[in-house]
Amino acid sequence: MPRYFFHIVDGEEIIDDEGTTLAGVEEARAEAIVVSGEMLRDLGGKFWGNGQWQIRVTDEAGDKVCALTFSADRS
């Protein structure tokens, strides 16, 4: 099974050098949604005013599978 890497970009890039073995691209995209939700939950109120961040998923070759970008506006 292929390995996918979930990199976080939040002012700086946090590289996932371990990766996660998943069945394929669709499962990697679904996992990106789950991981993003967990991160948003863990951030709680800190999310407001934290600017923009992104989770970028790549495959073993380094090709982008998907990217989810988040920002919050209190107004």
* Element containing residue 68 per DSSP (H, E): strand 64-70
What are the two backbone dihedrals, phi and then psi, of residue 8, each rounded to the nearest 5 degrees?
-110, 130
**pLDDT tens, the chain, 75 aa long:** 999 999 999 889 999 999 999 999 999 999 999 999 999 898 877 777 767 899 999 999 999 999 999 988 776
Domain membership of residue 47 (yes or no) is yes
Chain Cα centroid distance, residue 42: 14
Domain membership of residue 15 (yes or no) is yes
How much is the pLDDT for 1?
93
Burial class of residue 20 in the structure, from the number of CB atoms within 10 Å of its CB (0-12 exposed, 13-18 middle, 19+ buried): middle
How much is the pLDDT for 19?
98
Domain membership of residue 26 (yes or no) is yes
Structural domain for 30, as ranges? 3-70
Domain membership of residue 75 (yes or no) is no
Number of domains in the chain: 1
